């Protein structure tokens, strides 16, 4: 595959900078627990990016909520009404919530609460698991290696679940005592949910049900988990827990905090604060599915706001293509009237954008559009 100029520029950044963070890491939890009266400059967003700069949608507005019960009958045929709801949500929103998704409610609660316990450990106990930008795996507090960047008000923990050769329990926390067992089971159930949604995405575009899955590598897909911890923030109107971005991978299954709102989705130049339904997952389309679908499905900008009263914990499960397969628009979805919008690029190459620059709105996927 011929490298374009953009790819070469990104690859030249890898070097030694990917092995270590450009500056000493400060844990946001430590800042939050130090009774700050003001926000450190490193966390103050430019005026145009602050939570109050773009109009927010009316409080009653929410992303679609879809009940998956009966999605596939015993003979494997899909329910057309549910399929249509998912199709509209993918095309119009890029985000939706799912109920009766097949993951046990008690497992969802256990996953979130195990991680809450972990983040409540003293910071120095968590340092054993500190991460680097090379893989992000472990305990972290920033995305991207740009020196002097304005940072987000959050800590996180990142884990690989698939492929199996990347799954290393030694990099998983050992406390609480049940966390490894719970997250292992949780990951397997969410992978099954992703497989069912992938079938729907394919069928809704008139493709064979396994078309998207095969393009991702069949059973050889990637799956990882980022657990987000957003401490209380002394000046939430100046900061973000996670800057505006679209997800670089294939599809994200988010288990939100069941007590505290924070996720905002951008639609029609307005920010919609998502109201999580009890024991629902929030599903969103990532850049790789936008590319595969030749932009029939679109990834959507989203961000996380913080508050001064309560912490938040959420679990983002990323379902990704095999890292070394070139991803490009599916042949069945392109024609002379609908040419391919994106050149081939592997997910390994693509995610270097995030690992060098951090979250940057939709600039990553938009900069990947083929020249005309």
Domain ranges of the chain: 41-368
What integer pLDDT is reported at residue 72 of this predicted model? 84
- Of the pLDDT bands very low, low, confident and very high (cuts 50, 70, 90), residue 11 is very low
Q: Which band of pLDDT confidence, cut at 50, 70 and 90, is reported for residue 4?
A: very low
Q: What is the pLDDT of residue 13?
A: 41
The SS3 assignment for 305 reads coil
Average pLDDT over every residue of 63-76: 89
pLDDT value of residue 35: 86
- Rounded to whole angstroms, the maximal C-alpha distance in the chain is 61
What pLDDT sits at residue 177? Answer: 97
What's the pLDDT at 37? Answer: 86
Q: Span 56-72, mean pLDDT?
A: 86
Q: What is the pLDDT of residue 358?
A: 54
Please, what CATH class does the domain formed by 41-368 belong to?
A: mainly beta
**pLDDT confidence of 202, banded at 50, 70, 90?**
very high
Least confident among 70-84, 127-141, 285-299: 70-84
pLDDT of 259 above 70: yes
- For 193-244, give the DSSP string: HHHHHHHHHHHTTTS-TTHHHHHHTTT--EEEEEEEEE---S-GGG--SEEE
How many CB atoms sit inside 10 A of residue 359's CB? 22
Is residue 14 over pLDDT 60?
Answer: no
φ and ψ of 195, to 5 deg: -60, -40
Query: How long, in residues, is the chain?
Result: 372
- Gap between the Cα atoms of 141 and 151, Å rounded: 9
Strands 95-99, 65-67: pairing kind: parallel
Q: Residues of the chain with pLDDT > 70: what percent?
A: 88
Higher pLDDT, 356 or 87: 87
Check: CB of residue 346 under 8 Å from CB of residue 324: yes
Which has more pLDDT, 284 or 57? 284
Query: What one-character-per-residue DSSP string does 1-28 give?
Result: -PPPHHHHHHHTT-TGGGGS-SS----H
Residue 52: what pLDDT? 77
Tell me the C-alpha distance between 8 and 17, whole Å. Answer: 16
Q: Are 154 and 242 in contact (CB under 8 A)?
A: yes
Give which of 210, 194, 220 is closest to 323, Cα–Cα: 220
Q: Give the pLDDT of residue 19.
A: 81
Q: Please state, in angstroms and rounded to a whole number, the distance separating the CA atoms of residues 334 and 23.
A: 45
Q: Select the more confidently predicted residue: 199 or 349.
A: 199
**CA distance to 131, 171, 297, per residue, from 128 (Å):** 9, 9, 40
pLDDT in tens, 110-125: 999 999 999 999 999 9
For residue 136, pLDDT beyond 50: yes
Task: Please give the pLDDT value at position 1.
Answer: 39
Whether residue 238 has pLDDT greater than 70? yes
């Amino acid at each position: 595959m011929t490298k374009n100029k953009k790819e070469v520029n990104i690859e030249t950044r890898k070097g030694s900078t990917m092995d270590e963070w450009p500056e000493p890491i400060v844990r946001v939890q430590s800042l939050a627990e130090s009774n700050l009266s003001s926000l450190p400059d490193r966390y103050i967003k430019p005026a145009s990016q602050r939570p109050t700069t773009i109009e927010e949608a009316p409080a009653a507005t929410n992303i679609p909520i879809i009940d998956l019960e009966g999605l596939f009958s015993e003979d494997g045929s899909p329910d057309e009404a549910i399929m249509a709801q998912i199709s509209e949500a993918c095309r119009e929103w890029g985000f939706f919530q799912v109920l009766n998704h097949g993951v046990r409610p008690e497992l969802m609660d256990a996953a979130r609460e195990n991680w809450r316990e972990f983040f409540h450990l003293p910071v120095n106990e968590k340092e054993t698991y500190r991460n680097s930008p090379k893989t992000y795996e472990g305990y972290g507090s920033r995305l991207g290696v740009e020196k002097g960047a304005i940072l987000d008000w959050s800590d996180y923990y990142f884990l690989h679940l698939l492929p199996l050769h990347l799954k290393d329990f030694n990099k998983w926390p050992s406390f609480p005592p049940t966390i490894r067992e719970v997250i292992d089971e949780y990951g397997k159930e969410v992978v099954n949910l992703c497989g069912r949604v992938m079938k729907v995405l394919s069928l809704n575009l008139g493709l064979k049900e396994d078309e998207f899955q095969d393009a991702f590598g069949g059973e050889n897909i990637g799956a990882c988990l980022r657990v987000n911890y957003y401490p209380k923030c002394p000046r939430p109107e100046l900061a973000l827990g996670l800057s505006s971005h679209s997800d670089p991978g294939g599809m994200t299954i988010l288990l939100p905090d069941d007590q505290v709102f924070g996720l905002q989705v951008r639609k029609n130049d307005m920010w919609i604060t998502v109201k999580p339904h009890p024991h629902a997952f929030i599903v969103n389309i990532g850049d790789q599915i936008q590319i595969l679908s030749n932009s029939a499905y679109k990834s959507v900008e989203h961000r996380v706001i913080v508050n001064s009263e309560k912490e938040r914990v959420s679990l983002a499960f990323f379902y990704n293509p095999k890292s070394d397969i070139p991803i490009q628009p599916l042949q069945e979805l392109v024609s002379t009237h609908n040419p391919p919008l994106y050149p081939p690029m592997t997910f390994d190459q693509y995610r270097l954008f995030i690992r060098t620059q951090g979250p940057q709105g939709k600039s990553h996927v938009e900069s990947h559009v083929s020249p005309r």
